[in-house]
Amino acid sequence: MIRVLPYCAFLADSRVELPQFGVDGREVKILEHGELRVLWSEVKWPYDPQAMQRHAVEFHDVVRQVFLKAAVIPFRLLSVFENEASLSAFMSANEAYFVSDLKRLASAVQMECVIYFVAGRPQPAESGTAYLREKAGLLQRIRKSAEEVTHALGSVTQDLRVREVRNGVRMFVLIERGQEKPFKAAVEAVSVPEALSRRTSGPWPAAEFLCEELRAPQAPSVK
């Protein structure tokens, strides 16, 4: 069956070069709601599981092309609508949220920093207590390292959120577009504690800093 897949929402901007093709080589179309724009394609549903990785690359290529010039609010690869009318109705109902966040985040991008330790092999039962004690110590060092990175970023940061993940923490940092190099330099200036690893990535759309209404699932469940 055919379903409608939205890629991203953005504000009308003459600098944006719209991609022609998206997931599975399907034509990329544009939906207009006042100053709001949404790119979408008709796709076969459900996806072929063997093609999911390729589809993910194709999906993010579309989003990335718009993001090079403007703030975007990306949808998810699995957020599909029954038809164009249902997508249009969804955008009409949520237009104010999209426009407000796109204006608020117009000049911002999201950078990420993950600080983690690599878990070793499962420990023998007799050393379980020692292993848990060691892990707790590593987590404490990770949190301290995250605090040091936060301090080093200083005025580069507009907003920052930290989420604990398996074996570490993931830092989401909102910065001004164009400040990516100062961000990386500030992070790299902080030494990495022994037994820990760290990686940075970005810039990304500022998805972690959207209002709660848009961080919720962005499409109804479609079968």
Question: What are the residue ranges of CATH 3.30.70 in the chain?
Answer: 108-205
Rounded mean pLDDT of 7-34? 96
Neighbours of 160 (CB within 10 A): 19
What's the chain's average pLDDT? 92
- CB within 8 Å of 114: residues ≥ 6 apart: 165, 168, 169, 170, 171, 198, 199, 200, 201
pLDDT value of position 42: 98
How does pLDDT run across 21-54, given as a tens digit for each residue? 999 999 999 999 999 999 999 999 999 999 999 9
In the CATH hierarchy, which fold is given to the domain comprising 108-205? Alpha-Beta Plaits (3.30.70)
